[in-house]
Amino acid sequence: MAAPRRNRRAGVEDLWWKTVRVDGKEQKVESKLHGSGKRWRARYVDDESRERTKRFDRKVDAQKWLDDIVASQVTGNYIDPVRGQITFGSFYAEWAPRQVWVHHTRRENDRLDRTVPFRDVAMADLRASHFEAWVKKMQDQPLAPSTIKSRMMTVRSILKAAIRDKALASDPSQGVKLPRTRRAEAAMVIPTSEQVGKLILCAENRFTLFIALCAFAGLRSGEASALQVADFDFLRRDIHVERQAQRIRSGVVEIRPPKYGSERVIAAPKELIDMAAEHIRLHVPGDDPQRWMFEGLNGNPMENNMVGGRWRKAKAAAGITDVKLHSLRHYFASGLIAAGCDVVTVQRALGHSSASVTLDTYSHLWPKAEDRTRKAASSLLDEALGSTAYPLRTEGLS
């Protein structure tokens, strides 16, 4: 049976003197603690029904400390005095094992915890200056603004957990400025159709389909690696994206759901489906529908390092240097947008978690109001005048 919760209460008591009743009258007498240690003890019961105490030399100091505690309890800014002394690193060590993370995320977060300069600072002592200095240090290394933003988001999730656990009253990193990220159109490299065709022609035979799937179905590298024969519906011309492959270490690959749970069915062109069928015929022996389309080591699908090596060979053979494998996904998205596909269609094809993610990434590729105005006016002009070239009339003009 659970112990009953204690009522929240608070008070200041004198440890040197106690009140006793003598002959029916109250009078103060010296206590056993008289003259020993600090005289005044402030005490209160916290939200978990635990009594907290602290001793002071002066009553006024004890009362002020207690008033601050009570005010923080009322406003929701209370910090457990014991939990508040736990360091950032120690809190992370308690909190991290309870999180539902995939291997890659856990590895990156553990690495971040080991490197932050405020790892040994008590939670209650964290200040905005700690995070400002950290951001400046990362910028000076230099790290990309997107990387700095991602690391700060991870740290803030830890701070939010500390607030929930009463180890922190508020987030001290709020208001810390981060380096400005580049606009998507400035940072994004979209290969030309000529470059994509050249990469496919110059790639190893076993890798040709891999490039095509990224360029003409928008697959992420890990999603393409984890494709099985059964994921291709040759009758309906669909590709089912149900998993991704991520390298843990050499020869060890983790199979898990696609990024952000983006399982989806991609409507593929006939030419791509035909390429997949030919790839199976030439390079995927056997009759097990669950066999990998791109097999690597130890019966696993190709891991990141193997994919990267084949991609670099294809680029070298094609004489192309500034295109990343992920750029093929941008190529696919730009093609859908140029063909008039709406944002929801593009979102579903790419497996984005929301339409806002799609817009944040590719909004600059959609036609603007001015483009639509020009196109509409051009259509009206063609409709009115046809293909006849009409010379400007100049007679009567001065």
- Find residue 18's DSSP bridge partners: 29
Q: What is the pLDDT along the chain (398 residues), one digit of tens a residue?
A: 444 454 556 788 888 888 888 877 888 888 888 888 899 888 888 766 778 888 889 988 888 877 777 766 665 665 666 666 789 999 999 999 999 887 888 989 999 999 999 999 988 889 999 999 999 999 999 898 889 999 999 999 999 999 888 788 889 999 999 998 765 555 688 999 999 999 999 999 999 999 999 999 999 999 999 999 999 999 999 999 999 998 887 777 888 888 877 899 999 999 999 999 999 999 999 999 999 999 998 889 998 899 999 999 999 999 998 899 999 999 999 999 999 999 999 999 999 988 988 988 888 888 877 777 877 887 788 777 765 555 555 555 44
Q: Tell me the residue type at 60.
A: V
344 closest CA partner among 270, 269, 271, 264: 264
Alpha-carbon span 47 to 53, nearest angstrom: 14
Question: Residues 58, 66: contact at Cβ < 8 Å?
Answer: no
Question: Residues 90, 124: contact at Cβ < 8 Å?
Answer: no
| 85-181 against 188-338: fold identical | no
List the chain domain ranges. 10-78, 85-181, 188-338
Alpha-carbon span 314 to 336, nearest angstrom: 25
Residues in contact with 267: Cβ distance below 8 Å, sequence separation at least 6, in sequence order = 237, 238, 349
What fold characterizes domain 188-338? Answer: hpI Integrase; Chain A (1.10.443)
Which is the CATH superfamily of the domain at 85-181? Tyrosine recombinase, N-terminal domain (1.10.150.130)
Per the structure block, which two tokens stand in for 305?
């390092």
- Please give the angle made by the CA atoms of 80, 83 and 86, to the nearest 5 degrees: 150
Environment class of residue 85 by beta-carbon count within 10 Å: exposed (0-12), middle (13-18) or buried (19+)?
middle
Q: pTM above 0.75?
A: no
Residues in contact with 165: Cβ distance below 8 Å, sequence separation at least 6, in sequence order = 80, 83, 91
Question: Residues 43, 53: contact at Cβ < 8 Å?
Answer: yes
